Amino acid sequence: MGMEQVVLLPAIPAAIFVVLALFSALLPRRGDWLAILGMAVVVVLALAVAFHFQDFFALGEFAPGGENAYAFDWLNLGNGTFQIDFSTYVDAITVVMLIVVSVVALMVMIYSVGYMHGEPRYGWYFAALSLFVAAMLTLVTAGNLMILYFAWEAVGLASFLLIGFYWERRSAAEAAKKAFLTTRIGDVGLLIGIILLWREAGTFDIQEIIHFAEAGGFDEKYLTIAMLFLFMGAVGKSAQFPLHVWLPDAMEGPTPVSALIHAATMVVAGVYLVARMLPVFDVVLVARDVVLYTGLITAFMAATMGLVANDIKRVLAYSTVSQLGFMFVALGLGSPTAAMFHLFTHAFFKALLFLGSGSVIHATHQQEVEHLGGLWRKQPITTWTFVIGSLALAGMIPLAGFWSKDEILHAAKDNLPVFIVLATTAGLTAIYSTRLVMLTFFGEPRDRHAYEHAHESPPIMTLPLLFLAGCAAVAGFVVYDGVGKALGFAGGIGKLIYGHEPETFHFDRDLATFALAVAGAGIGLGVIYWWGRAERATRARSWAPELHALLVNRYYIDDLYQTLINRVVLGAAAVVAIFDKRVVNETGVDGGAQTIGWLGLRLKFLQTGRIPNYALAMVGGIVTLSLVAFYTS
Amino acid sequence: MSPNDAYLMLATFLIPLGTAVLLMLVPSKERSAIIGITALASFAMFVIALYLFVNYDFEGPQFQGVKAWTWMENAGVLGERGIQLKVGMDGIAAPMVLLTGIVIMPGTWVSWKLHHRTKDFFILLYLLVAGVFGTFVMLDLFFFFLLYETAVLPMYLLIAVWGSTRKEYGAMKLMMMLVAASILIFTAIFAIFTEAGLGTFDLPSLFAADYDPRMQKIFFPMIAIGCGTLGGMFPFHGWSPDGHASAPTAVSMLHAGVLMKLGAFGIIRLGFQILPEGAAFWAPALIFIGITAALYGAISALRQTDLKLMTGFSSVSHMGYVFLGLGTLNVVGMTGAVLQMFAHGVMTALFFLLIGGMYDQAHNRDIPNFSGMAKQMPIWAIFFILAGLASLGLPGLSGFVAELHIFVGVFRAYPIVGGLAVLTAAITATYLLRMFAAAFFGEFNPRWSHLHEITWAERAGAAVLAIAILTLGLWPSPWVDRISTTLAQTIPGVAL
């Protein structure tokens, strides 16, 4: 498959979206098979792209930076003055994203057949998922920042539609709105950043911008500002502090959607964007430091919030935010390989965890951990796959998360403060993931009713779980050259991602031992603490009530924003609205009309109807005009 | 475009004019005859408009399909070719003609359900449309102004007779403000005629004439304010929200969709094309007014609960973008301004069509009274969301294409204003999504269980407008090519 045909990848789900959105009611099974079939084709094509790419690499023909393929001019004003061409760009980062997006999307769609069975708007659900996949694939193959922005907004729209899938629920409608508006704030920055880059470089083409920046074409201050604006987009989409507030609420969407969009793919778009533009960030290190510290703050904060959340999906949402923070830290340290590697492994184990939680919710209709417990007897497959995902998240050897987290810690080892925060967060990760597993699957059932009715999910749901559990177990091994070669990726993940300057995997025995010790301590602590009876689950909050309240209330950030919106934004709006009504309208327009009316009322008395009055006025006029004429001539 | 297309341009305003006359002869009781005649006429207008747009060859001369019939010459102040009926189109008029053709067809369809003096309504509506088409294709300043006024005047009766909520007040305010504004245009037209000293109202000759820069600086603001008032320019927008709120559906559609564009079109034709130096001098003022209006309208809209008032303020905000684009004095930004005229036209027409379709049944437009309406009227809600997404600048829909050009143009000239303009788009998203969440989603309020889905005529009309929104959004080249070439050719001093 040539690179010119990459544009087919998004075209297939896009076509399926149109068909399903318009005609799903006419199709058997509302067309779910069509969406899945299309997705399977996309997986095959994505693998074909990967192998083709690898051929190039192996033969030594691989051009540094990847392959640009021009598709068509979308817009061309004044012969290139303002030009947007629909071009695709494929390099190792794209390949990783293509595999992640297509494989996880396929699993989620298969799982959804079971999970969404009997839901109203079943056809629309698959249509919206296809729209999302089309937009996401466009995003990762775009060779042009404007096309990327296009897709960026389109994935946001799909996310909005799917979070609000159960729109009859007020909370879902509000969550969809919050997600859209919060990410929109980031998108304002992204668009400004893109236009600022265009203003100097004169092009939207990503590679040309990178070359322009590397050649020193930008003023440094200007570029810093532009890149910070660009980064705002990533902060919004990837739910980083301070725009992280929408992601936990986004859990109102159907669980498979959370797995696909709000764990594995869309939320990593920000990571992808920064990784894609990293050569430009490398030119202005101030901006790269902002990426680093944003990621660090987010990773830590979100992990602490994950410790106390009670909704099984919310714990996973905080975990996602925290893990995305890890990826940004890696990017901020200038190690895109580590970031993309973690993105790759995280996609599998987090999708697995979400689908596992969906299986629990499907069986018990409960998602508060306080009402769960002891499910391992009822749901063995869900439990053990969930445990695998959870251990991978905690960073247990030899599961996928261990390798990629170790890589990020390795990148941070020269920066002690960052390293300490990361290691602490890794410990917290182990604790909260263990807490979640213990409370959900082990111990005494706390809600007998939910427990009695629980059952293992049908195979159409457990098979994706098993597949993803397999991925979560082995995805980390691609770091080894041998494994990479066997899979067709000569040189493993390091060379795959940064082929032109091979970055080999750094396996440091001491560091790995330390990381394992932290993870093991966290897991051990979690198991010991939450093992056993129900009251343990709730006892934690009495240990430090203020701290617990702070964390449960998410550091009061959501409340702060709500107050700001209510008081400041709507307050300003009220002032402007009143100004418009009273000053512009009643004083300016109506007032003007009334003044004329009033003048008419008064001045009509000049119209006396008496000839002498008019004669006098006439004489006065003649005299005045004569004087004017006399003095001006 | 062949010279014979001039007859089609003539037809664009002779058809509605003829229809209006024909309708006078039809007895009011013959509803089916009225519907048949208007269906045919509106379809013919749509087809001709589409044909003219497609056939405008942007690689050819600026004005195409030019033909003139002299009316008066060599009399009094008039010299050679004094006043002529002269038609012709450039790349700016072409999309405007298309816009009018697109809006009048659904506007006609949704008006068939009127039962009060249907015939008289159509006579006035078609008179208005004749004026709009005429202004866009006219290349003679005298007829330009005559038809401009023809387009404005029927508004008064249309609102005062067929309107709702404070209709007399809305109609009177609108009329007073627009007539007062016309006085400014009238004055400027005579100044231009005198200063050119050619003894002709022929527009291409007036474009080519020389004007004293001082005179240009004095009279450009008159045109900008005069035409700008019709374009809803802040702070002369007072008529717009009230006027929209009280007008009947089709009138709101045509008014916000097309008539406001007439104002912006006037600024380009009379201001930028005749008085370029005046325009260049006052461009920063346009930028200031544009960004103020954009922010002001958007922030005001946040606080509105009446759907039509919200859309009205939204229009003020979106028209602010038009003035912003015009003020950039570069081709990208000004192309964006004309694109925005088109994009806002189809989008607002869709908004008003949908609001009308609901108001006719519910007799209520207050957002807090509604909840979960997507359950009762899903098709209505889908179209509404589509229009809303176009309005907040979602890529792939018309609004984004226009806004992108404007943002880029403004960033070239004034980066900070550009930042504010992008921010406005976020505020737009805020008021629209608040409205969606409140009115369409959530639990259904059973108070509205007697409402029906919008009628087939409304669905068809909404579909026409939705197709226009998607076409411009996904394939903007036909518009951009025509507009940008003309702007680069004709407005001296405009940078690429």
**Which tens digits make up the pLDDT trace of B287-336?**
999 999 999 999 988 888 888 888 888 999 999 999 999 999 989 999 99
In this structure, chain B runs to a length of 496
For residue A455, give Cα distances in angstroms to A115, A118, A558: 13, 18, 37
Of the candidates A177, A184, A570, which has its C-beta nearest B437's C-beta? A177
Q: Check if the beta carbon of residue A168 is closer than 8 Å to that of residue B441.
A: yes
Please report the pLDDT score of residue A501 as a whole number: 46
| Angstrom distance (rounded) from CA A79 to CA B484 | 11
Determine whether the interchain pair A78/B419 forms a contact, defined as Cβ–Cβ distance below 8 Å. Answer: no
Q: In this structure, which amino acid lies at residue A346?
A: H
| Angstrom distance (rounded) from CA B390 to CA B261 | 18
State how far residue B82 is from chain A, nearest Cα, in angstroms: 35
Q: Is A348 on the interface with B (CB under 8 A)?
A: no
| Angstrom distance (rounded) from CA A307 to CA A87 | 44
Tokens at A505, concatenated: 């995997």
Side-chain-side CA neighbours of B418 within 13 Å: the count stands at 22
The number of C-beta contacts closer than 8 angstroms across A and B is: 133
| Angstrom distance (rounded) from CA B25 to CA B3 | 34
Residue of A nearest to B423 (CA): A188
For residue B109, give Cα distances in angstroms to B36, B374, B452, B456: 11, 24, 18, 10
Determine whether the interchain pair A576/B443 forms a contact, defined as Cβ–Cβ distance below 8 Å. Answer: no
State how far residue B362 is from chain A, nearest Cα, in angstroms: 21
Produce one character per residue of B123-159: b if its CB has 16 or more CB atoms within 10 Å, e if not. Answer: bbbbbbbbbbbbbbbbbbbbbbbebbbbbbbbbbbbb
Which residues of B, range 309-328, sit inside 8 Å of A by Cβ? 313
Mean pLDDT within B412-425: 90
Model-level ipTM above the cut of 0.90:
yes
Of the candidates A154, A188, A196, which has its C-beta nearest B423's C-beta? A188
State how far residue A353 is from chain B, nearest Cα, in angstroms: 29
Q: ∠ at Cα A256 (A255, A260), nearest 5°?
A: 120
Determine whether the interchain pair B302/A191 forms a contact, defined as Cβ–Cβ distance below 8 Å. Answer: no
Determine whether the interchain pair B331/A188 forms a contact, defined as Cβ–Cβ distance below 8 Å. Answer: no
Pick out chain A residues at pLDDT < 70: 1-4, 54-67, 70-71, 479-507, 532-540
pLDDT > 90 in chain B, percent: 53
Cβ partners under 8 Å of residue A47, min gap 6? A99
Please report the pLDDT score of residue B226 as a whole number: 93
Residue of B nearest to A149 (CA): B395
Residue where the block lists tokens 């532009």: A226
Which residues of B, range 284-303, sit inside 8 Å of A by Cβ? 296, 299-300, 302-303
Q: Euclidean distance between the first and final Cα of chain B, in Å?
A: 26
| Angstrom distance (rounded) from CA A33 to CA A7 | 23
Determine whether the interchain pair B394/A157 forms a contact, defined as Cβ–Cβ distance below 8 Å. Answer: yes
Please report the pLDDT score of residue A56 as a whole number: 57
Of the candidates B331, B441, B496, which has its C-beta nearest A167's C-beta? B441
Tokens at A53, concatenated: 């790419």
Q: Check if the beta carbon of residue A261 is closer than 8 Å to that of residue A287.
A: no
Tell the burial category of A629 from Cβ atoms under 10 Å away from its Cβ (0-12, 13-18, 19+). exposed
> Which of B234, B408, B420 is most worth mutating to test chain A (most A CB atoms within 10 A of its CB)?
B408
Checking if the pLDDT of B264 tops 90, the result is: yes
The pLDDT tens digits of the residues spanning A490-545 come to 555 555 555 444 455 666 778 888 888 888 888 888 888 777 665 665 666 777 77
Checking if the pLDDT of B100 tops 50, the result is: yes
In chain B, count H helices and then E strands: 21, 2
State how far residue B108 is from chain A, nearest Cα, in angstroms: 27
| DSSP helix/strand/coil, A81 | coil
Q: ∠ at Cα A19 (A13, A21), nearest 5°?
A: 95
Q: Check if the beta carbon of residue A370 is closer than 8 Å to that of residue A446.
A: yes
State how far residue A69 is from chain B, nearest Cα, in angstroms: 20
Q: Check if the beta carbon of residue A450 is closer than 8 Å to that of residue A365.
A: yes
Residue of B nearest to A581 (CA): B238
Residue of A nearest to B292 (CA): A576
In this structure, chain A runs to a length of 633
Residues of chain B with Cβ-Cβ distance to A164 below 8 Å are: 441
| Angstrom distance (rounded) from CA A31 to CA A25 | 8
**What sign does the CA torsion over B328, B334, B337, B339 have?**
negative
Q: Is A82 on the interface with B (CB under 8 A)?
A: yes
State how far residue A344 is from chain B, nearest Cα, in angstroms: 28
* pTM score of the predicted model: 0.91
For residue B277, give Cα distances in angstroms to A460, B174, B272, B311: 71, 31, 8, 35
Which residues of B, range 248-287, sit inside 8 Å of A by Cβ? none
Please report the pLDDT score of residue A63 as a whole number: 46
> Which of A163, A166, A167, A249 is most worth mutating to test chain B (most B CB atoms within 10 A of its CB)?
A167
